[in-house]
């Protein structure tokens, strides 16, 4: 199939391009490079030895999408493009609502216009809010604590309504848990601008000596050792989940958790990193981070049942691959 990947030069998008190419699909990337570099796609070409067509366009721009869709016979779209920094979404909400909602609307419109029937959307476990764990797809969504999360919940509703009104249009809403790690070549990975917000990139930067020590946000949660528990998933497993979703997509809207189903605490992750890479990670415990919840992980059984997809890589691979990328980056 010819697959349009918006945000395809970003962290998850670039790994998904590799999985798509390896599965025999043709890939067209649309990215405005607001949070990625064009060189990433050269690495994708080097790793796969296959071509990727690239358009530097903003997917909120309907005319630019018209040009793209009229040049290529697109069979399916995977929509990664969006802003994702939770803290920034609180201080600049309109920037987030505009980019994340308008891109979804404009892209879905273009799909209607050009007869594209398959749409895969990057949602997030954040839409579950403070539900009880494990998070299951059938749960009612609770309000999220920030505009970023709201843009994901709203995009899910928009796409669900569009699919209802357009029989034949199929939508997969993929709720990611915590993507970490990098391609095992070490050539592509997660390279956040400035100080990392998320745990794994912070740990790898401490390992490299760019940062002095990790600050562990709270050790008084009701968890195994008091630190926050999350469901970390290797980005390559996550990428393969997209190919499975695309291949199995049928009429209507289908929601899938993409996680491992296992919770890992901050200190468990630190210890796994130290063991996998033989590097000590100095840390200190500080206050809880505002807006954090104690624990969340997926019920990952629906994707296994319906997509025949299951995360395969363990915490050691996640830590080893994340470090290999950081070391060479």
Q: From 79-87, 110-118, 132-140, 221-229, give the range in contact with ligand NAD by CB under 6 A.
A: 79-87
Strands 229-230 and 264-265: antiparallel
Question: Would residue 221 show up in a list of annotated catalytic residues for this protein?
Answer: no
Tally Cβ neighbours within 10 Å of residue 37. 13
Which secondary-structure segment (H or E) carries 79?
Answer: strand 76-79
Q: Does residue 58 bind ligand NAD (CB under 6 A)?
A: yes
Pair 269, 180: CB distance under 8 Å: no
Q: Does residue 294 bind ligand NAD (CB under 6 A)?
A: no
Looking at 13, 196, 218, 241, which residue binds ligand NAD (CB under 6 A)?
13
Q: Which of ligand NAD, ligand UD1, none is residue 86 near (CB under 5 to 8 Å by kind)?
A: ligand UD1
Of 96, 148, 176, 297, catalytic: 148
Contact set with ligand UD1 (CB under 6 A) = 86, 124-126, 178, 197-199, 202, 214-217, 228, 230, 266, 289, 292
Half-sphere exposure of residue 44: CA atoms within 13 angstroms, side-chain side: 29
Q: Please give the Cα distance from 161 to 1 (Å, whole number).
A: 25
Cα–Cα distances (Å) from 163 to 7, 113, 117, 172, 252, in that order, read: 22, 14, 10, 10, 6
Looking at 18, 19, 35, 44, which residue binds ligand NAD (CB under 6 A)?
35
Q: Does residue 144 bind ligand NAD (CB under 6 A)?
A: no
Q: Does residue 204 bind ligand NAD (CB under 6 A)?
A: no
Residue 258 in tokens: 């993409």
Q: Please give the Cα distance from 135 to 128 (Å, whole number).
A: 7
Residue 70 in tokens: 């009229």
Q: From 41-49, 57-65, 215-223, 278-286, give the range in contact with ligand NAD by CB under 6 A.
A: 57-65
Q: Does residue 81 bind ligand NAD (CB under 6 A)?
A: yes
Q: Which of ligand NAD, ligand UD1, none is residue 292 near (CB under 5 to 8 Å by kind)?
A: ligand UD1
Q: Which of ligand NAD, ligand UD1, none is residue 32 near (CB under 5 to 8 Å by kind)?
A: ligand NAD
Contacts to ligand NAD from residues 91-130, by CB under 6 A: 99, 103, 122, 124
Pair 200, 181: CB distance under 8 Å: yes
Q: Does residue 11 bind ligand NAD (CB under 6 A)?
A: yes
Residue 81 in tokens: 């493009």
Looking at 5, 12, 68, 258, which residue binds ligand NAD (CB under 6 A)?
12
Mapping DSSP to helix (H, G, I), strand (E, B) and coil, where does residue 215 land?
strand
Mapping DSSP to helix (H, G, I), strand (E, B) and coil, where does residue 123 land?
strand
Q: Please give the Cα distance from 276 to 279 (Å, whole number).
A: 8
Q: Which of ligand NAD, ligand UD1, none is residue 311 near (CB under 5 to 8 Å by kind)?
A: none
Q: Name the residues annotated as catalytic.
A: 148
Tell me which residues touch ligand NAD (CB under 6 A). 6-7, 9-13, 30-36, 58-60, 80-82, 84, 99, 103, 122, 124, 176, 179
């Amino acid at each position: 199939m010819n697959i349009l990947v918006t945000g395809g030069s970003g962290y998850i998008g670039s790994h998904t391009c590799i999985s798509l190419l390896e599965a025999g699909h043709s890939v067209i990337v649309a990215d405005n490079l607001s949070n990625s570099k064009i060189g990433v796609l050269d690495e994708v070409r080097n790793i796969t030895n296959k071509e990727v067509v690239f358009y530097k366009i903003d997917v909120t721009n309907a005319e630019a999408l018209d040009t793209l869709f009229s040049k290529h016979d697109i069979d399916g779209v995977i929509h990664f493009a969006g802003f994702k920094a939770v803290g920034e979404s609180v201080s600049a909400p309109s920037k987030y609502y505009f980019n994340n909602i308008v891109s979804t609307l404009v892209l879905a419109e273009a799909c209607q216009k050009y007869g594209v029937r398959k749409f895969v959307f990057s949602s997030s476990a954040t839409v579950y809010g403070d539900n009880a764990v494990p998070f299951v797809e059938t749960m009612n969504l609770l309000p999220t604590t920030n505009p970023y999360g709201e843009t994901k919940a709203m995009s899910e509703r928009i796409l669900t309504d569009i699919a209802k009104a357009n029989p034949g249009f199929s939508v997969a809403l993929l709720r990611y848990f915590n993507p970490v790690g990098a391609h095992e070549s070490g050539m592509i990975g997660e390279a956040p601008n400035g100080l990392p917000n998320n745990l794994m990139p912070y740990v790898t930067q401490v390992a490299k000596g760019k940062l002095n020590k990790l600050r562990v946000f709270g050790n008084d949660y009701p968890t195994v050792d008091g630190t926050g528990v999350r469901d970390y998933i290797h980005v390559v497993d996550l990428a393969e989940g997209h190919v499975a979703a695309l291949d199995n997509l049928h009429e209507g809207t289908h929601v899938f958790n993409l996680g491992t189903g296992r919770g890992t605490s901050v200190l468990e992750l630190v210890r796994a990193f130290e063991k996998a890479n033989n590097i000590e990670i100095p840390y200190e415990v500080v206050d809880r981070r505002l807006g954090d919840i104690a624990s969340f992980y997926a019920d990952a059984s629906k994707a296994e049942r319906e997509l025949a997809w299951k995360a395969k890589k363990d915490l050691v691979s996640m830590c080893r691959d994340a470090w290999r990328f950081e070391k060479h980056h």
